[in-house]
């Protein structure tokens, strides 16, 4: 094998160091030290060298963040150091009790004196006693005891293992003793370093380092994910914690990377080293973690008394609502590692730490009715209709009950008084039923055996919690299907909104999506608030919809899990409806970006006779179920074989217009940036897609440069 020039090796190491420093400054310190164009050039140089000399590729290289093959399963691993859960305290009295308990385990320290009686002195230094919690005053700090307060992030705990400064394993908490190895997913999180900054250590770099922290989804990202899931007809995540946990257990690390998880480190352990050569306290450990390359929550505080702890807790009880992530409490730790070592652990908890939780805002109200909604996919969703109540700044009058299993678990009935809160402070949910206040002669609620809209029998699959109506002619399903069909991203029939769709179904003027193409101007004039001119425009819009491409028609059919981008990918692989209808799940799954669940959903949809009839009728009406000759010739266009992503606001073109131009020239447009992306078209206010493209060394184009490419 030809030896590698030492200068090449040195340049690769230099590039990695420069890129790691830039990533640390950008993702951890939020203080960029390098222009995007410079980072992009260095990244591509490293990519080229690693491609030329693959033996130089190492797991900690910035180029190895994403792109591993999807895992088939996660393996169970035993933690090198057990992850204990924390004892909970739900108010300041319980915090005081915790403090007294640990002090009894440490005889040399005298417990602090707490004021007694009914008098409520001011809280802390300069306090005015006006806090809504009105805690008793604590005098503390005897014996030089310090407490470290950190926000308790509502996410998913991770255990990270580094050997010789290199990340070798990332695992879920599991039961604290064993967890799941999700290393390839952990590597996608930008605020987790693949290689530690060795300059952070005054002494020799430890052979092994264990780091604990919390992976979480920022609220903005969480909301974006749910919006995308709604568009794709998928169930939304109830809260950011569930979304983070679900993301970490994705078998495809590319999906994990797209969801932009973040991470705060909160502790480290160095096996075999308790001599204080690296850190003597939690406060020093947090500082060391940041120097090592981790993101540490900036809102921690070193307190010299329980007065200060209480002050910190009360401050964040309200201020947490302004944070860009979820927090459900404060973690209080004794600062001294020596004292932590002396106190040790109970069977479940460390004696030297406690989680001081915030009470979720809850309110009592009365259930006035339990309705069952039927969605576009036929799913029956029970909904508690309640007497309006103020909760977390909004008026709440309805709360989802999810499914029949949840109703049975709550034993909720019409007339019950219930406690309601916002799950993740976003989605209203019923927490519990106050059965002691239940009126006489109430009956247990059971899910209907027949659809409440069409009266046809409903079904519940063995492996699903959802009950569904499977009658394709059900008015509720039909309304949802029509609203989806006429939507902007589907057939884009301007003028046919929700109210008009409901009139058409309620008046039994349509029984299928195909029926709308049989309607005339005279038919539309029979509807409320529909004049002759409006009816004429609507008929024209419907005629124009027949020119929409096959990809939009496929999206408009409303197949579960098939969004607009997936529809484009499928129609590029299967240019006619006959080809797609005859494809097996395995053939469908060969399309890049299409997984097993989507493939099975598409396959099953085409097996239903009512759907086959729908396609035949829509074909007869003139809808496009095949790529046009012009579209099929796209592969020979100026952008043939190239993959594009469009982000931000372009100067003159709308994003959909830019996508259409690219596709017409033979290019492929996707929603997410990956190594397979050739170009990123960038406008103003570009977000995470631009950042990812820079990291992957993907060429960026302005609108002007895109138009130049199109005119070549």
Residues tagged in the binding site annotation for NAD(+): 36-40, 85-86, 150, 173, 214, 333, 357
Q: What is the dihedral of CA 214, 218, 222, 225, to 10 degrees?
A: -100
User: What is each CA distance from 117 to 114, 136, 137, 508, in whole angstroms?
Assistant: 10, 10, 11, 73
CB atoms within 10 A of CB 491: 24
Contact 550, 627 (CB under 8 A): yes
How far does the chain reach from its first CA to its final CA, in angstroms? 43
Contact 699, 682 (CB under 8 A): no
User: What is each CA distance from 394 to 388, 401, 421, 605, in whole angstroms?
Assistant: 10, 19, 11, 40
**Of 480, 487, 538, the residue nearest 505 (C-alpha):** 480
- Annotated active-site residue 642? The verdict is no
Spatial distance between the Cα atoms of 562 and 559, rounded to a whole number of angstroms: 6
Q: What is the dihedral of CA 114, 118, 119, 123, to 10 degrees?
A: 50
Contact 553, 573 (CB under 8 A): no
Q: Any idea what the Cα angle at residue 45 is, between residues 185 and 678, rounded to 5°?
A: 65
Spatial distance between the Cα atoms of 81 and 431, rounded to a whole number of angstroms: 35
Contact 46, 61 (CB under 8 A): yes
* Neighbour-count burial for 512-528, b at 16+ CB within 10 Å, e otherwise: bbbbbbebebebbeebe
**Of 448, 539, 447, 529, the residue nearest 493 (C-alpha):** 539
Q: Any idea what the Cα angle at residue 651 is, between residues 648 and 657, rounded to 5°?
A: 75
Binding-site members are: 36-40, 85-86, 150, 173, 214, 333, 357, 451, 454, 474
Q: Residue 494: left (phi > 0), alpha (psi -120 to 50), or beta?
A: beta
Contact 65, 333 (CB under 8 A): no
96, 152, 422, 642: the catalytic one is: 152
**Residues designated as active site:** 152
């Amino acid at each position: 094998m030809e030896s590698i020039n030492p200068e090449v090796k040195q340049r690769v190491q230099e590039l990695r160091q420069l890129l790691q420093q830039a990533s640390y400054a950008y993702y951890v310190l939020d203080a960029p030290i390098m222009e995007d164009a410079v980072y992009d050039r260095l990244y591509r140089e490293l990519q080229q060298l690693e491609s030329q000399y693959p033996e130089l590729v190492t797991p900690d290289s910035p180029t190895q963040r994403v792109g591993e093959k999807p895992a088939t399963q996660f393996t169970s691993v035993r933690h090198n150091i057990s992850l204990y859960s924390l004892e909970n305290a739900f108010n300041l009295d319980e915090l005081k009790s915790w403090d007294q308990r640990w002090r009894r385990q440490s005889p040399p320290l005298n417990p602090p004196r707490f004021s007694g009686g009914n008098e409520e002195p001011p809280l802390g230094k300069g306090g005015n006693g006006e806090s809504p919690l009105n805690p008793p005053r604590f005098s503390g700090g005897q014996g030089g005891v310090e407490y470290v307060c950190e926000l308790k992030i509502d996410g998913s705990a991770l255990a990270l293992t580094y050997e010789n400064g290199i990340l070798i394993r990332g695992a879920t908490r599991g039961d604290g003793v064993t967890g799941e190895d999700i290393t390839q997913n952990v590597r996608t999180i930008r605020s987790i370093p693949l290689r530690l900054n060795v300059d952070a250590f005054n002494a020799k770099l430890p052979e092994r380092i264990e780091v604990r922290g919390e992976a979480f989804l920022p609220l903005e990202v969480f909301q974006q994910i749910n919006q995308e899931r709604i568009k794709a007809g998928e169930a939304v995540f109830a809260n950011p914690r569930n979304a983070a946990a679900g993301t970490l257990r994705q078998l495809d690390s590319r999906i994990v990377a797209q969801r932009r998880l973040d991470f705060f480190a909160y502790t480290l352990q160095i096996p075999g080293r308790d001599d204080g050569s690296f850190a003597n306290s939690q406060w020093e450990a947090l500082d060391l973690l940041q120097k090592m390359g981790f993101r540490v929550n900036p809102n921690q505080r070193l307190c010299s008394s329980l007065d200060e702890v209480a002050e910190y807790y009360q401050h964040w009880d309200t201020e947490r609502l302004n944070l860009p992530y979820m927090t459900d409490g404060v973690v209080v730790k004794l600062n001294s590692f020596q004292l932590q070592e002396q106190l040790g652990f109970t069977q479940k908890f460390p004696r030297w730490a406690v989680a001081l939780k915030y009470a979720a805002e809850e309110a009592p109200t009365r259930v006035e009715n339990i309705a069952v909604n039927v969605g576009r996919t036929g799913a029956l969703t029970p909904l508690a209709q309640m007497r309006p109540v103020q909760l977390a700044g909004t008026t709440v009058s309805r709360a989802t009950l999810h499914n029949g299993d949840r109703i049975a678990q709550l034993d909720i009935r019409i007339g019950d008084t219930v406690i309601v809160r916002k799950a993740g402070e976003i989605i209203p949910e019923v927490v519990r039923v106050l059965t002691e206040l239940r009126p006489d002669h109430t009956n247990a609620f059971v899910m209907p055996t027949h659809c409440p809209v069409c009266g046809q029998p409903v079904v519940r699959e063995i492996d699903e919690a959802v009950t569904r109506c499977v009658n394709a002619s059900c008015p509720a399903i039909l309304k949802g299907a029509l609203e989806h069909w006429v939507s902007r991203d589907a057939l884009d029939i301007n003028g046919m909104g929700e109210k008009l769709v409901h009139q058409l179904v309620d008046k039994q003027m349509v029984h299928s999506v195909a029926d709308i193409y049989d309607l005339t101007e005279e038919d539309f004039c029979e509807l409320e608030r529909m004049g002759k001119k409006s009816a004429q425009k609507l008929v024209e819009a419907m005629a124009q919809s027949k020119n929409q491409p096959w990809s939009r028609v496929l999206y408009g059919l409303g197949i579960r899990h098939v969004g607009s981008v997936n529809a484009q990918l499928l129609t590029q692989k299967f240019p006619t409806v006959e080809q797609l209808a005859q494809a097996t799940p395995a053939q469908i799954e060969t399309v890049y970006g299409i997984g097993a669940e989507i493939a099975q959903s598409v396959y099953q949809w085409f097996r239903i006779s009512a759907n086959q009839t729908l396609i035949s009728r829509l074909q007869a009406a003139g809808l496009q179920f095949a790529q046009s000759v012009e579209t099929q010739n796209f592969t020979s266009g100026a952008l043939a074989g190239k993959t594009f992503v469009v982000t931000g606001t372009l100067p003159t073109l709308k994003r959909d217009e830019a996508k259409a131009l690219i596709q017409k020239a033979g290019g492929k447009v996707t929603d997410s940036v990956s190594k397979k992306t050739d170009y990123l078209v960038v406008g103003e206010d570009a977000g995470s897609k631009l950042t990812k493209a820079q990291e992957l060394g993907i060429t960026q184009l302005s609108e002007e440069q895109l138009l130049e490419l199109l005119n070549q």
